[in-house]
Amino acid sequence: MPFISHNPATETILERFDSLDKTALAALLSQTHAAQREWRHRPFAQRAALLRALNHLLLAQQDRLAALITEEMGKPTREALSEIKRCAAVCLYYATEGEAFLTPQPTASDELHHSYISYHPIGVVLGVMPWNFPFWQVFRFAVPALMAGNGVAIKHAPNVPRCAAAIAEVMSSAGFPPHLITNLYIEDALVADAIASPHVQAVTLTGSGRAGRAVAALSGGALKKCILELGGSDPFVVLADADLEWAADQAITSRFSNCGQTCIAAKRFILLPQITDDFIALLQQKVAALKVGNPADPGVTIGPMARQDLRDNLQRQVDLALSAGAHCLMGGHMLPGPGWFYAPTLLDNITESSPAWTEELFGPVALIIRARDEMDALRLANDTPYGLGSSVWGRNAEHAEQFAEGIEAGCTFVNGMVRSDPRLPFGGTKASGFGRELSSHGIREFTNIKTVWVKNG
């Protein structure tokens, strides 16, 4: 079946792409493997030079590329521009720091020998990528993998094939060798063949828990390393001494950016009794100020959801939450007219009997959970199958940091919105996956960490 690109704001078809069969898939992976065998011997300086060229191209073409994201997956223009700039930044970061991260590290030894740890490319890394950040998710894994001497084969989400083509185009224009970076327009049924291929040595996936379990099983069966960045239901804990105006502003940005379709968005707002009513009032005021509409309009803050089935599933989850006793303070419904729009929604009185207690709501819906005290707030923050991001808000930063230490998550931000930063390792725990991307940790994930021991004399 072809990959079909839609405009989610108008529901019109933009372009069709033919999908690959098994024979074409095998041929592409063989070519990428051959290109990587040559690339692995390129000096770090040459790899860094190409990443710097890619950085310059992304910045020079940021308006065109951002417009493509907006048109194909519905992200407002301002946010799409930010995504392209992040991709440019990660190129510059690893061009600058990558060699130092992979420099052999001497290790203490006795007088008769010396030893060190070296880092070698693992081969071709298969990336199974999502649609919600169609450029950033690819660059987040591909840039450090390439700097480490690997090749990359990218299985993009089927609803963003034009973004996939643009990534391949800009990387080729930057001067990367032919076939080192390849797009795989394959259906989900062929992912197993790609993982099993002798030309693929590792796998990384960003996606749902269901997809993560399937890829983990296939990778384990093939004895290939995998990194999984899965869903999240991030707690946003507002302590009694928080700056409510500041926290509410950040809450709105975190929950409703990208139409709420972000793994690390704040999804569960856990409130202390002393501030609950005031904070909810602020949220209502700020949600009412959001503007839903055509994401290409500079004044719009929320575009459409990326696909119709995603919007339908979100409505099902909201209806189930309401049936379980939740109170709808705002929104709670699809919006009429063409496009897959959903009203920004606030649901109060989310209790443990609600399906929303354990599920991730991937859309513009904020859940309000009332804590009895700080101990209860910590329990609530951890009472989730997920463990990706989290945030804590309070004027006493030292106290908030102590509270944050008790949260079970891959990262916790105190008085700041959860985000991925090239300088910091990124990833989750529990059902949010395993392994890390970015920083020195991320670039080393797809290397052979090799011990070398040499006897003197």
CB 419 within 8 A of CB 263: no
**Residue spans per domain, the chain:** 3-230+430-455, 234-414
406-430 residue pLDDT tens: 999 999 999 999 999 999 999 999 9
| pTM exceeds 0.95, yes or no | yes
Which of 229, 359, 437, 445 is the catalytic position?
229
H or E element at residue 391: strand 391-393
Residues in contact with 46: Cβ distance below 8 Å, sequence separation at least 6, in sequence order: none
DSSP 354: S
Q: Closest Cα partner for 156 from 73, 40, 71? A: 73
Mean of all residue pLDDT scores within the chain: 97
100-159 residue pLDDT tens: 999 999 988 777 788 999 999 999 999 999 999 999 999 999 999 999 999 999 999 999
Q: What is the pLDDT of residue 455?
A: 86
251-269 residue pLDDT tens: 999 999 999 999 999 999 9
Is 229 known to be catalytic? yes
Q: Are strands 327-330 and 345-348 parallel, antiparallel or unpaired?
A: antiparallel
What top-level class would CATH report for the domain 3-230+430-455? alpha beta
Q: What is the pLDDT of residue 108?
A: 81
Domain 234-414, CATH:
3.40.309.10
CB 388 within 8 A of CB 412: no
Termini Cα distance of the chain: 64
224-233 residue pLDDT tens: 999 999 999 9
Task: Check if 3-230+430-455 and 234-414 are the same fold.
Answer: no
Q: Would you state the structure tokens that stand for residue 76, as one six-digit string?
A: 């407002």
Which of 91, 226, 263, 411 is the catalytic position?
263
| C-alpha atoms less than 13 angstroms from C-alpha of 260 in its C-beta half-sphere | 29
Give the CA angle between residues 406, 439, 82 to the nearest 5°: 95
Q: What is the pLDDT of residue 248?
A: 98
Q: What is the pLDDT of residue 114?
A: 86
Residues in contact with 41: Cβ distance below 8 Å, sequence separation at least 6, in sequence order: 149
CB 142 within 8 A of CB 117: no
Residue 155, strand partner residues: 128
Is 328 known to be catalytic? no
